A and B are shown apart, each in its own frame.
Chain A
Amino acid sequence: GENVEQHPSTLSVQEGDSAVIKCTYSDSASNYFPWYKQELGKGPQLIIDIRSNVGEKKDQRIAVTLNKTAKHFSLHITETQPEDSAVYFCAASRTGAGSYQLTFGKGTKLSVIP
């Protein structure tokens, strides 16, 4: 089955700096890669996703890049703000057949220091 590794497990940045979180996946058939933000006591919130036919996607201060050959993808947050502090999860799935179940990484706790 799919295995997703996520690094780092914790990340502290100064407000206004950039944050980068990296994930690798094992199943070359995976073709959909979402990122979720989870605040304490809440469910995961989708913040951006990318499909394997695209190398990069951007939404305001958030961008995701995908390298299919190396089987890794990254989340980039620019101009970080204190409200960006949360746990971020990457995930991978194979769409097109079957359950489309998501396999998650273990999460990155991001702290933005004012």
Chain B
Amino acid sequence: DTGVSQNPRHKITKRGQNVTFRCDPISEHNRLYWYRQTLGQGPEFLTYFQNEAQLEKSRLLSDRFSAERPKGSFSTLEIQRTEQGDSAMYLCAHDMGPQYFGPGTRLLVL
């Protein structure tokens, strides 16, 4: 158990729909990260939070993506107007010295 849960575990949506994923660390940690992993690749950094502040965003995070971390606890990642290229595993990690990852949310955009 890495101390991070993610919901939903799987999401199938149609192109153009909005989707939201949630990440719940078991306890509040200063740093929380989102990564995206496409098939056959390593995870790629999307964004990170220190407490409730979103301090860095990757160029991968287009305007259709938004992330929040209200009160510095759980975090949400929303994708608006989904595209087929958004199909991937979305991973959340919390920083306890090393980064520990949740099980991920696998998104399929049809």
Q: Is B83 an interface residue (CB 8 A)?
A: no
Q: Is the CB of A106 within 8 A of B40?
A: yes
In the bound complex, residues from chain A placing their C-beta under 8 Å from that of B2 are 43, 45
Q: Is the CB of A101 within 8 A of B98?
A: no
In the bound complex, residues from chain A placing their C-beta under 8 Å from that of B45 are 99, 101-103
Question: What size tier do the contact residues of chain B reach?
Answer: 20 to 34
Q: Is the CB of B42 within 8 A of A105?
A: yes
Main secondary structure of the interface of B (DSSP, over half): strand
Q: Which of B44, B58, B101 has most A Cβ within 10 Å?
A: B101
Which of B31, B43, B106 is in CB contact (< 8 Å) with A100? B31
Interface residues of B in 87-110 (CB under 8 A from A): 91, 95, 98-104, 106
Q: Is A46 an interface residue (CB 8 A)?
A: yes
Which of A43, A98, A107 is in CB contact (< 8 Å) with B102? A43
Interface residues of A in 1-17 (CB under 8 A from B): 4, 6
Q: Is the CB of B98 within 8 A of A43?
A: no
Q: Is B41 an interface residue (CB 8 A)?
A: yes
* Residue total for A at the interface (Cβ-Cβ under 8 A): 23
With both chains docked as a complex, state the minimum distance between the C-beta of B47 and any C-beta of chain A, in angstroms: 9
A contact residues vs B (CB 8 Å cutoff): 4, 6, 34, 36, 41-46, 49, 89, 91, 98-107
16 more CB-based (< 8 A) A-B contacts, given A99-B56, A101-B33: A4-B42, A34-B98, A34-B99, A43-B4, A43-B102, A43-B104, A45-B2, A46-B98, A46-B99, A46-B101, A101-B58, A102-B35, A102-B99, A103-B45, A104-B42, A106-B40
